[in-house]
Every structure is written in C-alpha cells, then in structure tokens.
Structure 1
Amino acid sequence: MRQPIFYGAVHLLFYRGDRVLLLKRINTGFEDGKWSVVAGRIDGNEEVKAAAIREAKEEAGVTIRPEDLDVVGVVHRKNVSSEWIDFYLRVRAWSGEIANMEPHKCEELAWFSLRELPGDMIGYIRTAVEKDHGAMWFESLGW
C-alpha cells in the first residue's frame, strides 16, 4: 500500500472592514500573475499558528500574536502530483505596517473590496475569501 504524502500550508486572511488583503504572485512557478493571500508552506516541526506568524513576517512584514489568529477553514486539495492540507487563518490584529517584503515573488500587495474581487484570482483562494468565517468550514478540492 502506497503511503500518502501531504504538504501543509497556511493562508492568512487579513480583513479591514469589507476589504481583504491580496498579493499578486510572480516568479514562483505556481499560478504566477494571479491574486492570492499571504501564504506559505508549513516547514515541518512547526505548529499551524507559528507557521502563519512566520509567513506574515516574511511576506508582509507584520507581527501577529497567536491569540490574534483564528483557524476558520481547512481544505484538502489534490494537485496533479501532490496532496495539500491548507489551513485558513483569519487575522484579527497585527502590529506594523503591511509591506511587500518579497518583491521577487510578489508583484503587488493591495486591499480589495469583497464585492469587487479581481477576476484573475486563484480559484480556491477566492472560495476561501468568500466563505462565512463565523464557523469552521471544510472543502475537498481536486478529487
């Protein structure tokens, strides 16, 4: 029996009122030219909130306390050659000014109205952003 290999990722949902923070991917080899959220792979031997805090600092230059993060959703996603468990975390508060800390991988950071999301957004990211985060949700994609 073949052992499954799962990759883990965290996706941070920064909201300001009815606006969400998105980043435009560039030079990554995955969905370049499309809008996503601050996100990244869990490095291993790393708790979900710790990974989210690290990614927020690396990509957006902000500091988040663990108690200011809520896991609001989980996606089990299958690509052509890999399986992912994606954790979506709503950010309730942060310190510092949001800035593009990885211009070699992020063309732009911008706030978008939830009523006017860009058309060239990664599909599963759009699905997560549009969810009601009042209760935990789960999606299974690519199966």
Structure 2
Amino acid sequence: MKERIKMYVAVHLFIIKENKILLLRRYNTGYEDGNYSVPAGHVDGNETFIEAAIREAKEETGIIIKKEEILPIQVMHRKKSFEERIDYFLETLTWKEEIRNMEPHKCDKLEWFEIDKLPENTIPYIKYAIENYKKKSPFTTFGWE
C-alpha cells in the first residue's frame, strides 16, 4: 500500500491598496533571503487558515484584520524538491493599525509595489500566484514541471 503524503500548509496574505501590493524582503532566514514575498507563514495546529492569516498579519506587519475582511483567492499545490505543500492565498483591502515591520530579524524591508510592476527578485511562486490572482485563477500548481 502506498504511503500517504504529509504536506506543509501555509497562508500568504495579499494586502492590497490602490492597485499596489505589500511585499516584504526576506532577511536572515536561510530561505530566499534578499527576495520579496508577501506576509506568510505556516498554519499552526488547531487553527483555520483564515485564523492563521490574521495571526501572521499581526505578527509580521502589526495590522489587525477581522475575519470578514479576508477573502480566500487561491489555493496552490506546490512541489518543492521532494516536499509537497498546500498554499492558501488570501486578500484583504481593509485593516486597522499602521503597517510596520514587526520582525526586523527576518525582514529588512516592507514596501508597496504596483501589482503590474513587481520587483525582479520576487520569489517565483509568489510572482506566479500574483499573476494568477490578476487572472482570477482560484486553483493553481507550481513546481511540477
């Protein structure tokens, strides 16, 4: 009998304002350092992916988002080397508190970018997810080629 896979589950938050998206530049993490991503993190045990996105937004950017202000926009089945992952992408247009870098030991820059003019050093699967967001593609795969 085949063994069932175990997958990491992560959330990625698209914070959108006036056709711009908030990106953070990873720093000192050992993964994609110097490249841009969105606020993100793993889903902890005993929390929904919406709760995880709310928690990660607060931990990384200091903002407070209500459950009803988050919209699930995409699910990605991603292959990374020999691991498989499920990534939930969510969007918010509304939040409370000022955006600020709450994790300077993991992120050296928070910046707004035009959604059509992402920096060259955007993490490839994040760039792909943003392109699919613009096309309104709710289910995608990445890394299977």
TM category (shorter chain) comes to over 0.9
2:103 corresponds in structure 1 to: 102
The answer to whether the 8 A contact 1:71-1:136 is kept is no
Gaps of 5+ in 2: none
The answer to whether the 8 A contact 2:17-2:93 is kept is no
| Alpha-carbon distance in 2 for matches of 1:126, 1:70 | 19
Matched, 1:41 2:64: no
Which residue identity is paired with 1:9? A
2:82 corresponds in structure 1 to: 81
Per the alignment, do residues 136 and 68 of structure 1 end up closer, same or farther by CA in structure 2, a change over 3 Å counting? farther
Which residue identity is paired with 1:20? I
Matched, 1:23 2:29: no
1:137 corresponds in structure 2 to: 138
1:91 corresponds in structure 2 to: 92
Deviations 1:17-73 (CA, angstroms, capped at 9, x unpaired): 111100000111111110000000001211010000000000000000000000000
Q: Which runs of 4+ in 1 moved over 6 A?
A: none
Q: What is the aligned residue count?
A: 143
Deviations 1:62-113 (CA, angstroms, capped at 9, x unpaired): 0000000000000000111321100000012110000000000001000011
| Alpha-carbon distance in 1 for matches of 2:98, 2:16 | 14
| Alpha-carbon distance in 1 for matches of 2:121, 2:135 | 26
SS at match of 1:129: helix
Matches within 5 A, 1:115-130: 115-130=116-131
Gaps of 5+ in 1: none
